[in-house]
Amino acid sequence: MNKRMEDAFNKQINAELYSAYLYLSMSACFEDMNLPGFANWMRVQFQEEQFHGLKMFDFVNERGGRVNLLPIEGPETNWETPLDIFEEVYKHEQHVTSLINGLVTIAMEESDYASNNFLAWFVDEQVEEEASASEILGQLKFIGDNKHAVLMMDRELRTRVFNPPVKE
């Protein structure tokens, strides 16, 4: 792995860990709103983002690169409504997609076929991440201020669990 690719992965590891930190902050906010199902959904998202960061961490090491952990920026801590939070989640996932696409571009420019192949999983994962955030955002927009519907969603989101992907 060349230095340019290594540096790009190190920045992305930081972005993935920031994402985890952001979602944990959102979980805390949902706990404060007394919405444990939404908080659970965010905690699972936190676990997924940690998994993504560690997957990249391991890949850099497997390729003989050097992982350099960068400081993680502090995330926002306060939102007014579940809708506000999921608007930010969707926007954030779109941002992460652009970062992954940038990594793919670097891998192609550097003719780093191993990194390009590795990143294909993340490209697919981002499609899923955006779709999931978009679906919940759409539902929240649809129900508006209906507190009963929010509580029904909260019960549904309580059932989400983290299942780390199995290595192929």
Query: Mind listing the domains of the chain with CATH numbers?
Result: 3-70+79-157 (1.20.1260.10)
Write the pLDDT tens digit of every residue in 137-153.
Answer: 999 999 999 999 999 99
For the segment 19-40, the average pLDDT, to the nearest whole number, is 98
Query: Quick one: pLDDT at residue 161?
Result: 93
Q: Is the pTM of this model over 0.85?
A: yes
**Is the pLDDT at 108 greater than 90, yes or no?**
yes
Number of C-alpha atoms within 13 angstroms, CB side, residue 46? 15
Which among 3, 48, 4, 2 is positioned nearest to 22, based on CA atoms?
48
Identify the pLDDT of residue 61.
97
Q: Report the C-alpha gap between 63 and 10 in whole angstroms.
A: 13
Q: What was the pLDDT predicted at 168?
A: 54
Q: What is the average pLDDT value for the chain, to the nearest integer?
A: 96
- The CA-based angle 149-153-156, given to 5 degrees, is 140
Of 52-61, 72-81, 130-139, 159-168, the one with minimum mean pLDDT is 159-168
| Rounded percentage of the chain residues whose pLDDT exceeds 70 | 99
The yes-or-no verdict on residue 156 having pLDDT over 60 is yes
